[in-house]
Structure 1
Amino acid sequence: MANYLAQFQTIKNACDHLIIAVEDVSDLWPIVRAGFEERLPLKRACLNNKTRNSVYVEQLPAEFILTTDSRLRSRYPQELSVFWFREPYATVVLVTCEDLDEFRTILKPRLKLIVQNDEREWFIVFVSKAHPSNDQATKLAKKIYAKLEVDFSSKKRERCCKFDMHGPESNFWEDLDSKIVESIRNTLDRRIQFYEDEIRKFSEQRLMPVWNFCNFFILKESLAFMFEMAHLHEDSLREYDELELCYLETVNTTSAKHRDFGGVDHGDDQAALLKPGYKPLSQIAQDDSFREFEFRQYLFACQAKLLFKLNRPVEVASRGYSFVISFSKGLALHENTLPFCMREVWVITACLALINATIYHYNDGIVAPDVEKEFYRLQGDLYSLCRIKFLRLAYLIGYGTEIERSPVNSAALSMLPWPKPAVWPIVPPDASSEVLTKEKASHLIYICGLC
């Protein structure tokens, strides 16, 4: 399954909302399309979360796509059920008929064939073309629709609704929304159960030689991503939190000690803890897991994205500060293999990214006073950590003698031993002493200004 990482990421990038398939039996979609699409996104959709509790989603994004559309027809092999999250969550069957014999001999057998797949959530929309002034056509349409209900609905499930082209019934649109949401809810419940069962099987093998974290990751993130598409962001966040715990346990095992840490590619010194798509997953995969440097940032970026959607920037700042401190310690363990000053530059860019992103998403004046106080305290912690690393960076590149040592200069506390390179960066041979002096002074002014 780990071989499907690139394919998995491609599928994820192409999905951003739930799909409602349209089986257009009678070539009606061009006629009704505008009215149907006006219903999107679905309002106040009642779905079940992972614990099977009802959750109302205010704006549920969805898209109607014809079953003949290339986006549905050009699929990967169906046996890859791990990608089930991108399949349609409901199927609307559009039909019309103006002759009873045609209904019995042609339409009914065709509909039976279409809906025989029990795994697909479907319902039928009968479109009546009868004009209100034509009593005979109106009565015939009602008679055909009545037979349609008898043949395809039951006491347990109402699977038909009627759309009048010359003036829809007052409750049609509400009925349509209700049936779509019911189908989505049932599909979601079934897929959640499938992913939970598969994840449970993999979890039971964690201490066995056959354990493969990449396989576990694809299943776990498929479930998380499905929750995210359904705007069940709390459930999605919980999956990523569990995935992070599982990964940390995996990398701390004896067998994982000698894996590459990462962080040596060009641009890695720029923190990517808010950029989940910074590197392809297939690029950071190693054997049966992922390189720690890139993957831990990826997981945090996914968590932060969900927290922003939940309007919790304070929690992003809190988690972010703890993550930077923890990750910095991890970088310190690999300083001998990482580029010079990598840890300082990474921490600085991480702090600045967190500060800018959380300020952007913070709604000033709408939160409780204690939350507001905590938010600005965290901002101060991030600025302080950033300042310390700026001063330490100045010290490491040769300006340490110019930094004032005093009780209020917290940078002095961070000037710990550093595995300095055997050869320092070479100064260009044509550089005059005046240029070096000026450059040195400008750097100090810049650093002090940031402090």
Structure 2
Amino acid sequence: MDASEEPLPPVVYTMENKPIVTCAGEQNLFTSIYPTLSQQLPREPMEWRRSYGRAPKMIHLESNFVQFKEELLPKEGNKALLTFPFLHIYWTECCDTEVYKATVKDDLTKWQNVLKAHSSVDWLIVVVENDAKKKNKTNILPRTSIVDKIRNDFCNKQSDRCVVLSDPLKDSARTQESWNAFLTKLRTLLLMSFTKNLGKFEDDMRTLREKRTEPGWSFCDYFMVQEELAFVFEMLQQFEDALVQYDELDALFSQYVVNFGAGDGANWLTFFCQPVKSWNGLVLRKPIDMEKRELIQRREATLLDLRSYLFSRQCTLLLFLQRPWEVAQRALELLHSCVQELRLLEVSVPLGALDCWVFLSCLEVLQRIEGCCDRAQIDSNIAHTVGLWSYATEKLKSLGYLCGLVSENGPNSEDLNRTVDLLAGLGAERPETANTAQSPYKKLKEALSSVEAFEKHYLDLSHTTIEMYTSIGRIRSARFIGKDLAEFYMRKRSPQKAESYLQGALKNYLAEGWALPVTHTRKQLAECQKHLGQVENYLQTSSLLASDHHLSQEERTYFCQEILSFAGWPADSPGTKVVLPMHSFAQLQDLHFDPPNAVVHVGGTLSLEMTVYSQMPVPVHVDQIAVNVHFSIEKNSYRKTAEWLTKHKTPNGIIHFPTEGSPLPASQKSLPALELSEMFERSPSDNSLNTTGIICRNVHMLLRRQESASSLEAPVGVALEDGAHVLRCSSVTLEPGANRVAFRTQAKEPGTYTLRQLCASVGPVWFVLPHIYPIIQYDVYSQEPQLHVEPLADSLLAGIPQKVKFTVTTGHYTVKNGDSLQLSNVEAMLVLCQGENRAVIYSNSREESYTSVFRIQSSDKVTSIGLPATPAYHVIEFELEVLSLPLAPASSGESDTLGTPEIPRRQKDRQKREPCMVTTDHKVSIDCPWSIYSTVIALTFNVPFRTTHSLLSAGTRKYVQVCVQNLSELDFQLAKSNLVDTRGSADLQLTPLNVPSPQHIHSKQSVFFIWELKWMQEPPPALHCQFSVGFSPASEERLSISLKPYIYEFQVESFFWLTTAATGRCVGRAVVLSPCPCLPRPLTECTWK
């Protein structure tokens, strides 16, 4: 409605129906009392207690007092409550007994007989006392005698049905007391009669409703009966109860229509299936539309007639209840449900007629509400009425398209004929709106009269609705109205007005994930941008449409050709670039590095291969595909090795990118699944199925507000990076689907290279992926040469050849012919030279490249290992055999020949339980050709044997026993055992008692050797012995060199009288005293450890 128009004056309707009370007897008497009676009766409220446990209410009783006539009494079968006399009163002021007997008694008798004939038991006799008449009569009886006679004659069992009203026209305390008693009685009897008759009416109505399944039952007849009950409640100003009656009728009719659509139709519904011939909208400006009520009563009403009348009554009661905003809510529901009911009942409706009816009804409801509310109330309750504005706008738009008022050439003859037919169906304007300048009838008629008038009304309605939606924060709904408005502007060739509305609608569709509306809106937006000459925006929208699979192949090809055509045009200025987002043009699927660890040394070559999935429907020739690379160098990164840099890389060098198969935002794709369940509602009386449907149990999760920023539309400005490091692949043709694109680069500077941006250029059009995710990096390192020496076995054993592995990592150094490793010789360790030595040379990726022979030259002080020529960033590996020689014998019994420190007592005890091998370290200095400094390495050798000795006695005979224990994991052969006196005494003889053949000693086992001591003269004070035994591994392999024997030196002092222990190689020295073995006894043993 126009904002400038003044609001209509408030219109308040009241019902004039009141409970009927008949008055018999002296009419002049009642006429004189009536003014006071009509004023006093409704003044005091009465408590109305109803049946079925309904809450009591306080009501004010009013009555319509009419003269008694027999015609007013209800006949049998008449259920009309509005014309039902609820109470019958007989008025008399007779004070004379003769007069009473002559006339009054007969008249009362006739009155009572008539009431009895019609089974009416609700009556009251009122005797009016008048002091003036009493004074004029001299021989009259007291007043009570007349009352007593009346009570005796007519009120034998109901004496309270005769009351006295004293001097009703006077102003005295006695009169007021008499009035109060009379009014209380009148109200009580009236309410009792009303309750009784209303209860009987309700019972009859329920009985009639329960017969609805019987043939011949008519909804129209039942409608009149229940509406009678609603009228009674309205008559008592119980508007809420009256509204309930209409709501029940509404629900009952709706259920029948739904059942009809499900195939369970009632016969009486055929009356409402007749074609619609009039569509003049709702009538809400009078309390009762008697014209439509009569149509319902005669069973001639159409569906729209019934719905219009029913809603008009509901509207009247809601306005009485001061709930105008519920009128708007119910009206919107009614209009939508009527459209569905017409379809369910398959009612024939002329094209456009329903649009006219809805449009007129919307404006009628809005004007009716405006007539009852002030502007402040209307503005604060826009949320309740904006739905009607929107629906009216939608229907007016439909009428405009239907009648040719939006076409470029205007309406044709067919459109004009349709417009005439639609206006004819409106009929003449109603008298109550004839004088209103902006009535719904006039607005519709004017809007359909010309193109200009339609545009004016449609734009006014659209802008008003958008403003209302915006003011209450319903931006989504405002944008959908704007979408329709944009289509109208495009038809009117005003693309500059349409663009903003299309952008808003597209933003909504994207946020909510509606794929098909997104496609449709983008097509409209592309057309709009093309007309406006927005090249960049048009190309971006075209790329999105070219990749949209909801379009046909021809449409996609058209938009792709639009891009290619622009790319083929000569640029206005050289160097001009149109930068577009890449996600609509192509997508990254995976990337493969070669080498797979994405680590390369300086000067090396790195290859990477991308799988690019083209979204275009046709092959596209791309000038170049470039990857912008960001270079960064960390502190000391040049010292990092290839192994360190490979720790956090993928093992196969393949990185997969997340797919973007859906044009919907991530938030929409991550919504929870629908949780649906069936819903059944059954009748509480007979358990029959009333309604069925589907309920979504997690609607609170699905309908949460989505952030408006969640859009897949790329930002307006996509930054094109300019970096010094770029990987390029030129002249590539991208076929629809997956394409492999290869890049190669030679590493120049050490550091970390991060792939930042992917660009594809087609002429001046650049498709840019601003950020490559996940983060992808490759590393370039510069490594120093390194030498690493390690044994091949877990531990090195002294006395036998052992293999040692040399690993030379060349790093940035190139090994030339003549470069060698210079090892300083160690006296106790030999480097064994074999006939031919081979080295294996690996590339940086640890792939075997080739083998090469190298030479070893040894002198007294230096062993030279000639390295094969090897390029930078390679690895040389070779093996050498080394031999740790046994140590020379100790010079005296007091010296520690192995240099083993004194062992604490606790450690001695532990060694007693767990014997361990003695170790010896050899430090070797190596000079490398790439460094002026020597590299010192330490090799630790373990002595495989542990040797102990003991002195045995048998009488005067002495024996020396040597125990050799194998502590290593290898098996050995022991041979040529020998024990000699190092001082070479001729008087002492050591006679071996051992087996001459070689002894096999297993791991963790011991072998014992024994010699008898014999002497010619007095024994020497000390015996210095050296035990030696040859040993070799028990394997069948023959050694290329002869091995030195294992030597164990010890000494025994005062061995004849005292038993003395000397330390061998593995233990310290200790002395143990024992008594002199003079007496013959068994062979005994004393062991020093």
The aligned residue for residue 162 of structure 1 is: 165
Residue 396 of structure 2: which of 387, 390, 396 is its match?
Answer: 390
The aligned residue for residue 25 of structure 2 is: 24
Residue 251 of structure 2: which of 238, 245, 252 is its match?
Answer: 245
The aligned residue for residue 425 of structure 1 is: 416
Aligned letter for 2:38?
E
The aligned residue for residue 452 of structure 2 is: 441
Q: Which has the higher contact order (CA 8 A, sep 6+)?
A: 1
The aligned residue for residue 283 of structure 1 is: 295
Superimposed CA distance per residue, residues 320-374 of structure 1 (whole angstroms, 9 cap, x where no aligned partner):
1211221233346689832331122111111111112123234788x9xxx995x
Q: Quick one: distance in 2 between partners of 1:180 and 1:364?
A: 46
Aligned letter for 1:265?
K
The aligned residue for residue 128 of structure 1 is: 129
Query: Unaligned regions of 5+ residues in structure 2, if any?
Result: 1-14, 420-448, 463-1089
Alignment of 1:183-222 (within 5 A): 183-222=189-228
Superimposed CA distance per residue, residues 296-339 of structure 1 (whole angstroms, 9 cap, x where no aligned partner):
22111112211222222122222112112212333466898323
Residue 76 of structure 2: which of 66, 76, 79 is its match?
Answer: 79
Does 1:326 pair with 2:337?
Answer: yes
Residue 369 of structure 2: which of 355, 358, 368 is its match?
Answer: 358
The alpha-carbon distance between structure 1 residues 84 and 178, as it changes in their structure 2 partners (threshold 3 A), is same
The alpha-carbon distance between structure 1 residues 91 and 259, as it changes in their structure 2 partners (threshold 3 A), is closer
Q: Quick one: distance in 1 between partners of 2:38 and 2:197?
A: 25
Q: Quick one: distance in 2 between partners of 1:200 and 1:305?
A: 25
Q: Quick one: distance in 1 between partners of 2:301 and 2:94?
A: 57
* Structure with greater strand percent: 2
The aligned residue for residue 114 of structure 1 is: 111
Task: Name the SS of the counterpart of 1:170 in structure 2.
Answer: helix
Deviation for aligned residue 1:22:
1.0
- Give me the TM-score of the superposition, normalised by structure 1: 0.75
Q: Quick one: distance in 2 between partners of 1:393 and 1:223?
A: 41
Tell which deviates more after alignment, 130-139 or 153-162: 130-139
The alpha-carbon distance between structure 1 residues 213 and 139, as it changes in their structure 2 partners (threshold 3 A), is same
Deviation for aligned residue 1:18:
1.9
* Structure with greater helix percent: 1
Matched-pair contact (CA < 8 Å) for 2:273–2:347: no
Q: Quick one: distance in 1 between partners of 2:316 and 2:162?
A: 38
- Give me the TM-score of the superposition, normalised by structure 2: 0.33
Matched-pair contact (CA < 8 Å) for 1:263–1:293: no
Superimposed CA distance per residue, residues 388-417 of structure 1 (whole angstroms, 9 cap, x where no aligned partner):
222222222223357xxxxxxxxxxxxxxx
The aligned residue for residue 64 of structure 1 is: 65
The alpha-carbon distance between structure 1 residues 104 and 132, as it changes in their structure 2 partners (threshold 3 A), is closer
Aligned letter for 1:21?
T
Superimposed CA distance per residue, residues 224-283 of structure 1 (whole angstroms, 9 cap, x where no aligned partner):
2222222222222212111222222334342446555356334x2333366641634443
Tell which deviates more after alignment, 200-209 or 438-447: 438-447
Alignment of 1:226-305 (within 5 A): 226-251=232-257, 252=260, 253-256=264-267, 258-262=270-274, 264-266=276-278, 268-272=279-283, 276-277=288-289, 279-284=291-296, 291-305=302-316
Aligned letter for 1:330?
E
Q: Quick one: distance in 2 between partners of 1:372 and 1:154?
A: 64
Matched-pair contact (CA < 8 Å) for 2:73–2:85: no
Q: Quick one: distance in 2 between partners of 1:18 and 1:258?
A: 37
Aligned-residue identity in percent: 21
The aligned residue for residue 348 of structure 2 is: 337
Matched-pair contact (CA < 8 Å) for 1:269–1:342: no
Q: Quick one: distance in 1 between partners of 2:102 and 2:81?
A: 35
Q: Quick one: distance in 2 between partners of 1:187 and 1:107?
A: 26
Matched-pair contact (CA < 8 Å) for 1:273–1:301: yes
Q: Quick one: distance in 1 between partners of 2:221 and 2:452?
A: 54
Does 1:347 pair with 2:358?
Answer: yes
Tell which deviates more after alignment, 38-47 or 176-185: 38-47
Q: Quick one: distance in 2 between partners of 1:280 and 1:439?
A: 32
Q: Quick one: distance in 1 between partners of 2:78 and 2:289?
A: 24
Tell which deviates more after alignment, 291-300 or 336-345: 336-345
Matched-pair contact (CA < 8 Å) for 1:50–1:235: no
Matched-pair contact (CA < 8 Å) for 1:228–1:236: yes
The alpha-carbon distance between structure 1 residues 148 and 372, as it changes in their structure 2 partners (threshold 3 A), is farther
Q: Quick one: distance in 1 between partners of 2:347 and 2:213?
A: 32
The aligned residue for residue 92 of structure 2 is: 95
Aligned letter for 2:291?
K
Q: Quick one: distance in 2 between partners of 1:274 and 1:261?
A: 27
The aligned residue for residue 188 of structure 2 is: 182
Matched-pair contact (CA < 8 Å) for 1:273–1:350: no
Aligned letter for 1:353?
E
Aligned letter for 1:164?
D
Alignment of 1:399-418 (within 5 A): 399-401=405-407
Q: Quick one: distance in 1 between partners of 2:403 and 2:346?
A: 16
The alpha-carbon distance between structure 1 residues 48 and 316, as it changes in their structure 2 partners (threshold 3 A), is farther
Aligned letter for 2:402?
L
Aligned letter for 2:415?
W
Matched-pair contact (CA < 8 Å) for 1:24–1:66: no
Deviation for aligned residue 1:160:
0.8
Q: Quick one: distance in 1 between partners of 2:55 and 2:395?
A: 46
Deviation for aligned residue 1:77:
7.1
Q: CA RMSD in A?
A: 3.9
Matched-pair contact (CA < 8 Å) for 2:89–2:125: yes
Deviation for aligned residue 1:146:
5.3
The alpha-carbon distance between structure 1 residues 157 and 245, as it changes in their structure 2 partners (threshold 3 A), is farther
Matched-pair contact (CA < 8 Å) for 1:261–1:293: no
Matched-pair contact (CA < 8 Å) for 1:351–1:383: yes
Task: Name the SS of the counterpart of 2:350 in structure 1.
Answer: coil
Task: Name the SS of the counterpart of 1:119 in structure 2.
Answer: coil
Q: Quick one: distance in 1 between partners of 2:296 and 2:407?
A: 40
Residue 318 of structure 2: which of 307, 314, 329 is its match?
Answer: 307
Task: Name the SS of the counterpart of 1:86 in structure 2.
Answer: coil
Matched-pair contact (CA < 8 Å) for 2:402–2:415: no
Deviation for aligned residue 1:127:
1.4
Task: Name the SS of the counterpart of 2:76 in structure 1.
Answer: coil
Matched-pair contact (CA < 8 Å) for 1:269–1:343: no
The aligned residue for residue 417 of structure 1 is: none
Query: Unaligned regions of 5+ residues in structure 1, if any?
Result: 1-13, 403-420, 429-437
Deviation for aligned residue 1:294:
1.0
Q: Quick one: distance in 2 between partners of 1:379 and 1:176?
A: 51
Matched-pair contact (CA < 8 Å) for 1:123–1:179: no
Q: Quick one: distance in 1 between partners of 2:364 and 2:244?
A: 24
Superimposed CA distance per residue, residues 18-55 of structure 1 (whole angstroms, 9 cap, x where no aligned partner):
22211124752343233333336555244345655432
